[in-house]
Amino acid sequence: MKEEKTILIAGATGYLGRHIVQAAVKRGLQVKAVVRNPAKLADMDSKQIEIVKAQLTEPREIAGLCVDVEYLFTSVGITRQKGFSYEEIDYGVNHQMLEEARRAGVEKFIYVAVLNPHLFKGNPMVEAKEKFCRKLARSGLPYTILRPDGFFNDIAEFFHMAQRGRVYLPGNGHNRLNPISGEDLAELALDKLESDENEVPVGGPEVFSAEQIAALAFEVLGKKPRITHIPYHPAKALLSLLRPFSTRLYTIGDFILRGAHYDMIGPRYGRITLRQFFTELNRQKKNL
């Protein structure tokens, strides 16, 4: 009889995926890490980790991945891949993973989507993710959809702009959010492996306005704040002109702009603060 349970992690080299791998190992789970480039996990040396090289855009490479797997975690979505649509990756690849999970009898499927998706209606990325969420809900497979309001690695762009001397904010900067660290979200994801909760909205332990996040980045860097506000409606009009030329850039810009127009606050969870995250980024910068 199999002693340890196995979790398959799709997107294991991403920001959240790496934290899931680390947290799963600490909890004694066997990890099947699906990656395009195994070298990106070379620093994770553990007998509990099986690294599987697979190109998930190829259906034949997805076949059989879920054999002898109890749990499946996926945060797969378009990042830097070129030549693919959100429909093909955010919906299509995850749909194929779901079908494999059903055939293999996976006990639980964990997926990462978006908080307050109704605010992003028409955004190609969110539409593809929500289409998959509906498919997952109808699958008959036990599942949990995590809905964070933003990751620390997304908020890192505030820090990088501050490094360059000026932070640009869409709108008035009053919109509030509570982003969460990958480490905290990984712990929550694993806590839900035995839960019957289907939808879990979540945010980090602190709520900030966008303006406060920018100010914190400058403070950690020891620099005088320089913040420029970009009016919402002109930015939206300019963004619409971009759509015919680059769906990907339009989608990212639309997501950022809409997020800046509303409060995006999830139930508070976790222990790692944004100041800690920015401080670590600053330490890394100084050690380069």
Contact between 177 and 210 under an 8 Å Cβ cutoff? The reply is: yes
Whose tokens are 């619409």? That residue is 240
Domain ranges across the chain: 6-150+181-203+265-271
Q: Which DSSP category does 179 fall into?
A: -
The pLDDT tens digits for 155-188 are: 999 999 999 999 999 999 999 999 999 999 999 9
Cα(201)–Cα(272) distance, rounded to whole angstroms? 18
- Contact between 107 and 101 under an 8 Å Cβ cutoff? The reply is no
Q: What is the pLDDT of residues 19-67, one digit of tens each?
A: 999 999 999 999 999 998 888 888 887 889 999 999 898 989 999 999 9
DSSP three-state, residue 167: strand
Q: Does residue 6 contact residue 70 with C-beta atoms inside 8 Å?
A: yes
β-strand pairing of 6-10 with 71-74: parallel
User: For the whole model, what pTM was predicted?
Assistant: 0.92
* pLDDT tens digits, 245-275: 888 889 999 999 999 999 999 999 999 999 9
Vertex 125 angle, CA 123 and 127, to 5°? 65
CATH number for the domain formed by residue range(s) 6-150+181-203+265-271: 3.40.50.720
pLDDT for 43: 86
- For 261, counting Cβ atoms within 10 Å of its Cβ (0-12 exposed, 13-18 middle, 19+ buried), the class is middle
